Amino acid sequence: METHLADWLEGTPDGEDAGLNLRRCVHCGFCLATCPTYQLLGDELDSPRGRIYLMKQVAEGAAPSASTLAHLDRCLTCRNCETTCPSGVEYGHLVDVGRKLVEARVERPLGQRLLRALLRETLTRRWLFDPAMRLGQWLRPLLPAGLRDKVPPRRAPGPWPARTHARKVLILNGCTQPAMMPAIDAATARVLDRLGIQTLVEPRSGCCGAIRHHLADTEGALAQVRRNIDAWVPHLDRGVEAIVMNASGCGAMVKEYAHLLRDDPHYAPKALRIVAATRDLAEWLPAQLAGSIATLRAHIGADAVREAVAPPATAGGRAAPPRIAFHPPCTLQHGQRIRGEVERLLAALGVPPLPVAEAHLCCGSAGTYSILQRDLSLQLRARKLAALQAGGPALILSANIGCLAHLQAGTATPVRHWIEWLDEAMESASPRNV
């Protein structure tokens, strides 16, 4: 659509992002059908097209209002609309700019400012969040229900492999995941160890920057991005073959590093290297496992893991299909455009996931959204759990810490990262080596 950027925005990197994507939008409205907030609220201004219209006004120089801010706040940044859009609108880049512009011009009420500052400053600092989460897990039975939802029960991570290997990969020294579910990183390291790959965690790296980025703290996020790049580049120089992401939200963020630093002459080339080396576990591991699939499949058919997820044999003696449901996070399927990899891997291992309706829709977690927009988040979770549980799964698998904790808080059905399931399956199939 025709767009005339305000003078102060024209010619800037944000102006390029905004102008490109505003002009790409032809207002066709295809994206409305897949937008979770439009489905819940039925208000055009809570749809991608409506939000694009609001952002266009601001980019052209109109003063945003508290209402503009509220409509952008209600966006999950799930990027479902990007997947649907036939015109190639990069809504994620556009809303990043829109939020930055609106946040700078509309003052939030004090309560909102304090809550956002609390989330920004605590979630991203391991030295603060780790002990807070441990204390919360210890006191979990005494916590009020709303807070208990945010504190998953602790699962023992199990041993970290002691062996070293010539093949090495880095994983993120993340912020919330190691505190909430350390079992995910440990399971990743054990699976890779069995494949002859050593998992490294660089202590000078930390939060990927997504939490600050989505709270419109651009400079704070970029400081974390540059710190991670400085910590990881020496490992790439020494031959580490990939930076493997086992939280799809972090993977989507790290893959944006080159875009975020495109105008920083010192960091832009390094950021390109980081992005080129970054792989989500879901897109990288299947190729590493290729030689082990047949052995694993043979063992999984009879082992305890299979029994844990499969219903008893039917009266006719034939085993009923296994009951696993997989939830592909938005950051995997829309943010990184990785679709079907985990599902195909599970099927190759003999445990095809159950069909799930509306698999493209967000579960309502969306980083800090589940705290800042609790009502909408809970409505989306109820809808997602109804779809996931329609086939009666004994286990729900997913690929992002936020989705895992959010979904688990709403159901008694176990919710795990798929790598934890694979770790248990490999351990059952052949301890230590497949």
Kindly tell me which of 28 and 294 has the beta carbon lying closer to ligand SF4.
28
Min dist. Cβ of residue 87 to ligand SF4 (A): 4
Kindly tell me which of 81 and 216 has the beta carbon lying closer to ligand SF4.
81
Binder of ligand SF4 out of 9, 17, 80, 151 (CB under 6 A): 80
Min dist. Cβ of residue 54 to ligand SF4 (A): 11
Min dist. Cβ of residue 385 to ligand SF4 (A): 19
Site residue total, ligand SF4 (CB under 6 A): 26
- Could you give the CA distance from residue 48 to residue 362 in angstroms, rounded to a whole number? 14
Kindly tell me which of 27 and 163 has the beta carbon lying closer to ligand SF4.
27
Q: Which stretch binds ligand SF4 (CB under 6 A): 44-52, 139-147, 239-247, 339-347?
A: 44-52
- Please list every residue from 86 through 105 that binds ligand SF4, using CB under 6 A: 87, 89, 91
Map the chain to HEC letters.
CCCCCCCCCCCCHHHHHHHHHHHHCCCCCHHHHHCHHHHHHCCHHHCHHHHHHHHHHHHCCCCCCHHHHHHHHCCCCCCHHHHHCCCCCCHHHHHHHHHHHHHHHCCCCHHHHHHHHHHHHHHCCHHHHHHHHHHHHHCHHHCCHHHHCCCCCCCCCCCCCCCCCCEEEEECCCCHHHHHCHHHHHHHHHHHHHCCEEEEECCCCCCCCHHHHHCCCHHHHHHHHHHHHHHHHHHHHCCCCEEEECCHHHHHHHCCHHHHCCCCCCCHHHHHHHHHHEEEHHHHHHHHHHHHHHHHHHHHCCCHHHHHHCCCCCCCCCCCCCCEEECCCHHHHHHCCCCCHHHHHHHHCCCCCCCCCCCCCCCCCCCCHHHHCHHHHHHHHHHHHHHHHCCCCCEEEECCHHHHHHHHCCCCCCEEEHHHHHHHHHHHHCCCCC
Does 51 bind ligand SF4 (CB under 6 A)? Our answer is yes
Min dist. Cβ of residue 339 to ligand SF4 (A): 16
With contact defined as beta carbons under 8 Å apart, do 362 and 309 qualify? Answer: no
Q: Which stretch binds ligand SF4 (CB under 6 A): 20-28, 136-144, 285-293, 407-415?
A: 20-28
Binder of ligand SF4 out of 56, 71, 79, 99 (CB under 6 A): 79
Does 81 bind ligand SF4 (CB under 6 A)? Our answer is yes
Q: Which stretch binds ligand SF4 (CB under 6 A): 48-56, 213-221, 290-298, 310-318?
A: 48-56
Binder of ligand SF4 out of 77, 124, 218, 408 (CB under 6 A): 77
Q: Which stretch binds ligand SF4 (CB under 6 A): 84-92, 179-187, 284-292, 353-361?
A: 84-92
Does 45 bind ligand SF4 (CB under 6 A)? Our answer is no
Does 28 bind ligand SF4 (CB under 6 A)? Our answer is yes
Q: Which stretch binds ligand SF4 (CB under 6 A): 30-38, 249-257, 302-310, 375-383?
A: 30-38
Kindly tell me which of 33 and 290 has the beta carbon lying closer to ligand SF4.
33
Does 26 bind ligand SF4 (CB under 6 A)? Our answer is yes
Min dist. Cβ of residue 387 to ligand SF4 (A): 17
Which positions touch ligand SF4 (CB under 6 A)? Answer: 25-31, 35-37, 48-49, 51-52, 75-81, 84-85, 87, 89, 91
